[in-house]
Amino acid sequence: MNNSLRAIRGMRDVLPQETPIWQWLEGKFRHLTYRYGYQEMRLPLLEPVALFERAVGQATDIVSKEMYNFMDKSGEHITLRPEGTSGCMRAVLENNLCYNKTQRLWYQGPMFRYERPQKGRLRQFTQFGVEAFGMAGPDVDAEIIFMLRDLFQELGLTSHLRLEINSLGIPEERRAHREALVAWFSAHRDQLDEDSLNRLETNPLRILDSKNPDMQVMLNQAPRLLDFLQEESRQHFSAVCELLEKASIPYIVNPRLVRGLDYYTRTVFEWITDELGSQGTVCGGGRYDGLAQLFSPRPLAACGFAIGIERLLLLIQTVSQQDNPLWHFHPDVVIANERQDDGLKAQLLAERLRQQIDGLSVLVDCSGAKLKRQHQTALQSQCQAIVTLNSGGEIRLWDLASSQQMTLNEKDLIGWLQQHLH
Ligand code: ATP
Ligand code: MG
């Protein structure tokens, strides 16, 4: 195929053999959010560039190098959304959803970041995210972690993920820590790599995130934000930790966990796996009480998380011991016909079967191939039964579970299908 017509690098097709597992997972998200009382939000893919510059922050990787920005025909600076929280906050405020009430919301959809594509890292990827607005207490931080524990348990991933948490405090505490951190890094300048030297000016907190093995000893000794927390933030953090313990959720306090976005305050967390190489963060989240004030003077407490669905699917497929039939599509019945001009008859029979048996999946072979070939295709589809219209006008049923074949009339066929397949 002509190279210029291929899909854009880092943007992949989800093929029909993959969609069943996506749908299965999406069903899990819907069920989870329903059980916890979260309602779905559907947000635009395009937003003003300024939204992310303000909300995510100029000095973050996302805004400084990963956004798909362009100008539309009227000269407006717009972008393909790189994440969901900023748009969700915009929508909540714009539509007054939190006027005198709280909101529990979720969303799912594609996000876009111009990054180097590799395993678990795409330029178009999909997030499932949850945001809770108008609730400032540590119980809500715990609630969204409860949801995640529940989800990962349901997906059989508990033993493959660890929860790391930290508190980033409030801006005042962060400022004090930042000063101490800059002083520390300046004193250890000779140990900083180029990336970190750049960050020293723009976003020193993110240096703590560095994976450079030569810097680890120094980074572990650097001033910890946790030590700069004042009473209220300390209490908030210990209340979250206590709730997790009471709910028997194991966690690790990682004082170097900072997250890549500016908007976080207090609680931040990640769910990390060692099974996917360096792209091991499946879920990231936390509290972002300061974000609303970038939009309007009225404060609005908020917290949430986002899961990268492609990474989650990679993990599920890597660690699952057994194949799940729900991850594949198989029709219940395939109708084959010996005579090519019986096509219409086959379609009408299929239609009657679908109408009589609710939920039955019936696929009619319209390929025009020889009967033997039609049977081969049907067998490959792993259907449960093949119904053949013979040239003599008979209906033959081939039950693939028992390998039995029988001739019967339509009424008995329906009876048989009802009894055996539903
Ligand atoms: P990373 O450290 O891997 O770059 P991040 O901190 O940039 O992640 P977030 O902005 O917190 O990621 O997004 C939440 C989740 O979305 C991540 O934990 C990950 O599962 C997923 N994600 C982020 N960027 C990508 C990407 N380029 N491709 C696939 N999934 C991604
Ligand atoms: Mg990133």
DSSP 235-267: HHHHHHHHHHHHTT---EE-TT---S-TT--SE
Q: Kindly state the helix (H) or strand (E) to which residue 146 belongs, with its residue range.
A: helix 138-154
Whether the per-residue pLDDT at 188 is higher than 90: the answer is yes
Residue ending a domain, among 319, 339, 369, is 319
pLDDT in tens, 319-373: 998 899 999 999 999 999 999 887 899 999 999 999 999 999 999 999 999 999 9
Most informative mutation of 279, 288, 303, 313 for ligand 1 (most atoms within 8 A of CB): 279
Residue 191 lies in a domain: no
Q: Residue 161 sits in a domain of what CATH number?
A: 3.30.930.10
Most informative mutation of 81, 115, 311, 315 for ligand 1 (most atoms within 8 A of CB): 311
- Could you give the CA distance from residue 102 to residue 301 in angstroms, rounded to a whole number? 10
Residues with CB under 6 A from ligand 1: 83, 113, 115, 120-122, 125, 127, 260, 279, 281-284, 306, 308, 310-311
Residue identifier of the C-alpha nearest atom 7 of ligand 1: 260
> Considering the entire predicted model, what is its pTM?
0.94
The answer to whether residues 286 and 239 belong to one domain is yes
Q: Give the pLDDT score at 14.
A: 97
The answer to whether residues 268 and 360 belong to one domain is no
Residue 55 lies in a domain: yes
Ligand 2 centre to CA of 95 (Å) is: 29
Ligand that comes closest to the CA of residue 121: 1
The answer to whether residues 257 and 405 belong to one domain is no
The answer to whether residues 40 and 127 belong to one domain is yes
Residue ending a domain, among 267, 297, 319, is 319
In angstroms, how far is CA 336 from the centroid of its own chain? 40
DSSP at 121 = B
Range of the domain at 402: 330-421
Residue 219 lies in a domain: no
Ligand that comes closest to the CA of residue 65: 2
The answer to whether residues 100 and 137 belong to one domain is yes
Whether the per-residue pLDDT at 118 is higher than 80: the answer is yes
Q: Calculate mean pLDDT across residues 163-170.
A: 96
Q: Give the pLDDT score at 388.
A: 97
Residue ending a domain, among 319, 347, 379, is 319
Residues 255, 108, 23, 147: is their CA dihedral positive or negative? Answer: positive
Q: Residue 396 sits in a domain of what CATH number?
A: 3.40.50.800
200, amino acid identity: L
Where b means 16+ CB within 10 Å and e means fewer, 176-203 reads: bbbebbbebbeeeeeebeeebeebbeeb
What is the Rg, in whole angstroms, of the alpha carbon atoms belonging to the chain? 27
In terms of Cβ atoms closer than 10 Å to its own Cβ (0-12, 13-18, 19+), residue 331 is: middle
Residues 311, 108, 130, 70: is their CA dihedral positive or negative? Answer: positive
